[in-house]
A = this chain, B = another copy of it.
Amino acid sequence: MSTFDPEPKSDSVRIIPLGGLGEFGKNMMVYESADAIFVIDTGVMFPEEDMPGIDVVIPNISYLLDNQTKVKGIILSHGHEDHIGALPYILRQINVPVYGTRLTLGLAENKLREHRLHNQTDLRVIDDESVIEMGSFRLEFVHLCHSIPDAIGVVIHSPAGVLLHMTDFKFDAHPADGRLTDEARLRQLGDAGVRMLLSDSTNAEVAGFTPSEQELERVLDDLIGRAQGRVIIATFASNISRVQQVINVANRHGRKVGVTGRSMVNNTKMAIELGYLQAPPDGLLTADQMNYLPPERVVIVCTGSQGEPTSALVRMSRGQYRHLRLGKGDTVIISAAPIPGNEKMIHHTLDDLFRLGADILYDELFDVHVSGHGSRSDMKHMLELTRPQHVVPIHGEYRQLVLHARLAEETGIPAEKITIIENGQTLEVGPDWVMPDEVVASGRVFVDGLGVGDVGSVVLRDRRHLARDGFLVVIIGLDQENGEVILGPEILSRGFVYMAESEMLIEEAKEVVWDVLERQETAADVADGLHAALGDYCYRTTGRRPMIMPLVVEL
């Protein structure tokens, strides 16, 4: 298998992860047969600390572009950002039909509208009775419980047998919308024979079953029942299930619910229209009502659970939210787990809320959130229902994939039938073998403003350098006749020292420039000399290494 065939054989399938395996977010999986390619999910990833200025990170899809004519469509498993966020960027590069359940497509359409792509996209609604044929693939869908309604797993009838792509799921006996993960169907598939299970690894570090949404509803009931003033509940904008729970509980306690935060309002509106969210009989509160109704009649659901600077909750915490002033007597509930990397922002928000005198309930104090992802026992249950020949852990950082693999081994699946692959690592599934094959182009494409992919490692390296120590530009004009200095040295600098109080340092730097000018002849030599001498000077005097850029021109 050392040479990479241009396509899989007619009895084989190639699986190509382009995102989400071995890193957080950005889920994207490609399935390829001899005659067709389809994609499951098009997620974004949020930039990490070492990617300054980047808005979002999307998968590299050059493999799809190289095989463009074979690509039949994109399946969206559910409406979360790490599964649909890159859709507009992907569709701009490769416009194919997009399949998803009604709610998922509703969320996707909101997103496409923002990018003005909704009129040119072929959106096709599916449900758990749909069957799609794509070349030699036949796809069916299984309902899964998750922290958003209308999530599906994909049953892939392929030339190499049945592959199950089980994205984010949990087994919840009492989900907010009453629809269970379809265990009977999964068991039936297991009875008929599953060639390979690809299954969510997110919570591979968490023991037991993930608690039911019902338990959370009980907690919310207790907290809202006891609260004296207003109750503010922050969660993810896409967490439609949580909004439903709040509406249910608030109603029981004679409170009315308002929703705030742009994305949350949009999602809620759409979910009500599509019938995925049962609005209260008298509708949701308007902004005015939130403020003027007696506090004990009000519950507000809002964005900001991750401390996002422009979110409703963060503006409330800083007293900058027009519609609502929080204070003593109000109760704030943070009903979401911190995404790794957001802890500091969340802590600052909590501190600000405490300063306002409100009561705050958050995960360090109280269980006011349940995960949408199944824990180890859920993962094990999925393995037991489907009894696959082969297992590939998907969705998770590397350690979670490994822990999931070890769990699969514990359930009796032989180690050699469990394969860990990371983004770009293709896996061939043949009639009687499963083998890793070539590594294809994959990885991170940076979106920065209007640019998609133009900012790469060089620009980011420069940004990190500038962030650390700033820059120093020195400009010199030499007389092209006699080499005399007729312009400068002029020095421009930012981010290095406080210029208003660094006259001496700048004057001394100019002395360094004159020294170099005396020693060097040509403009190029001067530029090189300046780079070295100014670098030394800055480091010696400040311990910093600004980016030095000499511009020597002959006039």
Contact = CB atoms under 8 A, between A and B. Distances in A.
Interface in A344-382: 344, 347, 350-355, 360, 364-365
Given A459-B470, A466-B467, A467-B464, A494 B351 contact: no
Contacts of A464: 467
A206 B365 CA distance: 7
Interface string A448-487: 1111001110110011111111110101010000000011
Contacts of A402: 354
Nearest to A468: B53
Nearest to A205: B364
A497 B462 CA distance: 10
Contacts of A413: none
Contacts of A288: none
A343 interface: yes
Given A52-B468, A475-B551, A551-B492, A449 B542 contact: yes
Contacts of A355: 398
A116 interface: no
A360 B487 CA distance: 62
A456 B462 CA distance: 22
Contacts of A350: 399
A22 B351 contact: yes
B454 A497 contact: yes
A39 B468 CA distance: 33
Given A351-B399, A450-B543, 7 more contacts: A22-B351, A341-B344, A350-B399, A450-B542, A477-B555, A486-B555, A555-B555
19 contacts: A49-B49, A49-B344, A53-B467, A340-B343, A343-B343, A347-B399, A365-B403, A449-B544, A451-B497, A451-B543, A462-B470, A463-B468, A463-B470, A465-B495, A466-B495, A473-B473, A473-B492, A477-B487, A477-B555
